[in-house]
């Protein structure tokens, strides 16, 4: 358990109230108990604050006098909650060492305080850094590197010569460095183009379950520092994702596309190849990006759902747009828009 005063100091928040309160975990305003801390980041939940049984709360300075609980004051309650939760709920860590069932090449280098789980294979020349944790059934390809403090959950596959930076988290089923989809049509068959680049992942990157990042065809595929990727994302060969960009699940990014820094990309987005997305861009979920974006802003191309009958009317109107557009163009040119108009003139 943590003293509230110690938590405030650790996360850089201001303390209001009794700093001796002991906190063991985090919870919602509705369900928190006297030894838990809750947070208020959305004003819609302000009514729950007064009735909460939480031992302490994390709030913005404007909420200093709302309720009676001791509180941590911060301009970003949600980010503060994340830091507090990390302190109160640290991930369990296995003992250092290599499991007896792991297969490790003689020339692989594994830090003394790293942990390698059962049935994992570590290839020739691979390097596993200090404090790294490699889960069960992982495959670390020859010449690959896993940086210090990384956590690879079970069944992560790291192909040959790929590199993972420091403090990264790769969830189960992630595949780094599979061949990019490079094929050349000979006139009668598809010829495979050898994919000789690598995948380079920066520091503090998190990659969700079953996400795949292909190796470069010639140059490398690059994921810069602080990028956060959700589950089931496909990143093709020679893509570059800028630092601190976040991408939600089921997004697909085609080859040689460059996504800038501090971008936010919603779920189910499709981005064609060989385009550039500038820094600070937000793309709404299920949008299709077919050309470069050169000015930061919010971009949306999906059509929100509506009742079926209304959608059928919308679809009928959409189908009529080409003819309507032609009619408008004809009128601007002064041409007849129908046979009857032509006869009357």
CATH of the domain at 67: 3.40.1390.10
> Which pLDDT score is estimated for 338?
60
Give the pLDDT of residue 94: 94
- In this model, does residue 342 exceed pLDDT 80? no
pLDDT score, position 43 = 87
The whole model's pTM is what? Answer: 0.90
Query: Domain for residue 107, yes or no?
Result: no
Q: Is residue 226 part of a domain?
A: no
pLDDT: which is higher, 190 or 342: 190
115-136 tens-digit pLDDT: 999 999 999 999 999 999 999 9
Q: What range does the domain containing 54 cover?
A: 2-88
Query: Which residue has tokens 């988290």?
Result: 169
Report if residue 36 sits inside a domain.
Answer: yes
pLDDT for 264-312, tens place per residue? 999 999 999 999 999 999 999 999 999 999 999 999 998 889 999 999 9
What CA–CA distance (Å, rounded) separates 115 from 152? 10
**Total number of domains constituting the chain:** 1
Q: Express each pLDDT in 44-69 by its tens digit.
A: 888 899 889 999 999 999 998 877 89
User: Percentage helix, strand, coil, to 5, in the chain?
Assistant: 20, 25, 55
- Tell me the C-alpha distance between 264 and 280, whole Å: 7
Q: Which of 89, 153, 237, 308 is catalytic?
A: 237
Q: What is the pLDDT of residue 68?
A: 85
If you average pLDDT over every residue of the chain, what do you get? Answer: 95
Token pair for residue 10?
């650790």
195: confidence class by pLDDT, cuts 50, 70, 90:
very high
pLDDT at 304: 87
pLDDT value at residue 230: 98
Q: Does residue 28 fall inside a structural domain?
A: yes
Residue 171: active-site member = no
252-269: pLDDT as tens digits: 999 999 999 999 999 999
| 3-state class (DSSP) for residue 91 | coil
Find the helix packing angle between 4-11 and 77-88, rounded to 10°: 120
Rounded Cα distance between 167 and 178, Å, is 22
High-pLDDT (> 70) share of the chain, %: 97
Residue 315, domain member (yes or no): no
Q: Which of these, 117, 110, 66, lies nearest to 92 by C-alpha position? A: 117
Report yes or no on 314 lying in a domain: no
């Amino acid at each position: 358990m943590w003293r509230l005063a110690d938590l405030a100091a650790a996360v850089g928040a201001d303390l209001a109230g009794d700093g001796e309160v002991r906190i063991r975990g985090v919870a919602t305003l509705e369900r928190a108990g006297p030894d838990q801390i809750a947070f208020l980041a959305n004003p819609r939940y302000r009514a729950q604050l007064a009735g909460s049984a939480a031992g302490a709360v994390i709030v913005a300075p404007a909420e200093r006098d709302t309720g009676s609980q001791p509180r941590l004051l911060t301009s970003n309650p949600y980010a503060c909650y994340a830091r507090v939760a990390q302190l109160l709920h640290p991930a369990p860590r296995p003992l250092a060492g290599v499991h007896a069932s792991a297969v490790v090449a003689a020339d692989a280098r594994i830090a003394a305080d790293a942990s390698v789980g059962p049935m994992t294979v570590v290839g020739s020349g691979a390097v596993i850094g200090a404090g790294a944790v490699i889960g069960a059934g992982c495959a670390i390809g020859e010449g690959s590197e896993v940086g210090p403090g990384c956590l690879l959950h079970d069944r992560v596959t790291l192909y040959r010569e790929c590199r993972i930076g420091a403090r990264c988290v790769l969830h189960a089923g992630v595949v780094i460095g599979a061949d990019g989809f490079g094929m050349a049509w000979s006139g009668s068959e598809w010829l495979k183009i050898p994919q000789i680049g690598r995948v380079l992942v920066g520091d503090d990157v998190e990659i969700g379950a079953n996400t795949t990042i292909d190796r470069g065809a010639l140059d490398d595929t690059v994921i810069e520092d602080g990028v956060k990727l959700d589950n089931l994302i496909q990143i093709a060969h020679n893509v570059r994702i800028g630092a601190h960009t976040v991408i939600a699940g089921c997004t697909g990014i085609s080859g040689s596309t460059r996504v800038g820094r501090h971008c936010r990309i919603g779920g189910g987005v499709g981005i064609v190849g060989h385009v550039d997305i500038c820094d600070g861009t937000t793309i709404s979920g299920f949008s299709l990006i077919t050309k470069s974006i050169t000015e930061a802003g919010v971009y949306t191309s999906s059509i929100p759902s509506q009742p079926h009958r209304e959608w059928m009317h919308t679809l009928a109107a959409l189908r009529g747009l080409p003819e309507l557009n032609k009619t408008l163009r004809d009128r601007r040119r002064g041409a007849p828009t129908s046979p009857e108009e032509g006869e009357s003139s």
